[in-house]
């Protein structure tokens, strides 16, 4: 039997974790909440959580540089597949830093292995005072799945809460079934990693305390 180097979460810790998640979700909803969704907003980008926007390619076309600057966009995650490369592309490489990903909007596409790369890219942008736009073609499936995954891991939310949060701000999202299945698989993976890291941090703190005591 394989043993994993993280501790089991007790009932009281689980309740505390749920309370923290609920408070986090409420704060995020208040920070970027939009209650006046209209159909035409599909063609524009929306701020999902502070500093992270989701939208269609039309929000990053050549004519949109001024709008991107007005929103403070410094980084863009551009999602496309090979056949789309002639019309979905980085338009402002000298003005904006891009992460371009080759992802097909297919139920069999492996999107989960892109999650760490996207998280690192977004975290580095935010740490340097930037803002990020995630876009595919329509801002509905691929880019939405990446946004949901980032929010799940960044804020410790369940797939349900992260989906609700993203949909609140961009009502038209609809990741395909394959992406939703991978997001469901991702939830216990990132939670186990967080628990392991927290356990390691606690162990380090204990070792440091013992060292100081000595």
Residue ranges of domains in the chain = 38-202
What pLDDT sits at residue 205? 47
Confidence band, pLDDT 50/70/90 cuts, at residue 195: confident
CB 77 within 8 A of CB 143: yes
Phi, psi of 99 (to 5 degrees): -120, 110
pLDDT attached to residue 209: 47
The least confident of 6-10, 141-145, 183-187 is 6-10
Predicted confidence at residue 37, as pLDDT, reads: 85
pLDDT at 202 over 70: no
CA–CA gap between residue 206 and residue 212 (Å, rounded): 10
Interacting residues of 33 by C-beta distance below 8 A, sequence separation 6+: 168, 169
44, with CB counted inside 10 A (0-12, 13-18, 19+), is middle
Distance CA 96, CA 69 (A): 9
**Rounded distance, CA 71 to CA 74, Å?**
9
**Does residue 190 carry a pLDDT above 70?**
yes
Residue 207 has pLDDT above 50, yes or no: yes
The answer to whether 91 and 78 have CB atoms below 8 angstroms apart is: no
Residue 134: predicted pLDDT: 98
Does this model's pTM top 0.85? My answer is no
Averaged pLDDT of the chain:
86
Give the domain 38-202 fold: 3.90.190
Q: How many Å apart are CA 26 and CA 127, to the nearest integer?
A: 23
DSSP H or E run through 99: strand 97-102
Nearest to 162 by CA among 28, 44, 52, 56: 28
Residue 196 has pLDDT above 60, yes or no: yes
Confidence check: pLDDT of 188 > 90: yes
What is residue 24's predicted lDDT score, i.e. its pLDDT? 75
Rg for the chain, CA atoms, rounded = 19
């Amino acid at each position: 039997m394989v043993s994993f180097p993280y501790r089991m979460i007790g009932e009281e810790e689980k309740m505390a974790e749920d309370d923290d998640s609920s408070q986090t979700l409420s704060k995020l909803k208040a920070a970027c909440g939009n209650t006046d969704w209209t159909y035409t907003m599909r063609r524009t980008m929306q701020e999902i959580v502070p500093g992270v926007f989701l939208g269609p390619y039309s929000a990053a076309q050549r004519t949109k540089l001024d709008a991107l600057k007005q929103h403070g966009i410094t980084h863009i995650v551009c999602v496309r597949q090979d056949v789309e490369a002639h019309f979905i592309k980085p338009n402002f490489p000298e003005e904006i830093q891009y992460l371009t990903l080759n992802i097909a909007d297919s139920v069999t596409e492996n999107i989960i292995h892109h999650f760490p790369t996207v998280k690192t890219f977004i975290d580095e942008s935010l740490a340097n005072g930037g803002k990020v736009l995630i876009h595919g073609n329509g801002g509905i499936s691929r880019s939405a799945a990446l946004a949901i995954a980032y929010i799940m891991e960044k804020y410790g939310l369940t797939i349900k809460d992260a989906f609700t949060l993203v949909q609140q701000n961009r009502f038209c999202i609809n990741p395909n079934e394959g992406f939703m299945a991978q997001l469901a698989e991702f939830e216990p993976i990132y939670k186990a990693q967080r628990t392991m890291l927290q356990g390691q941090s606690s162990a380090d703190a204990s070792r440091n305390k013992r060292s100081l005591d000595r």
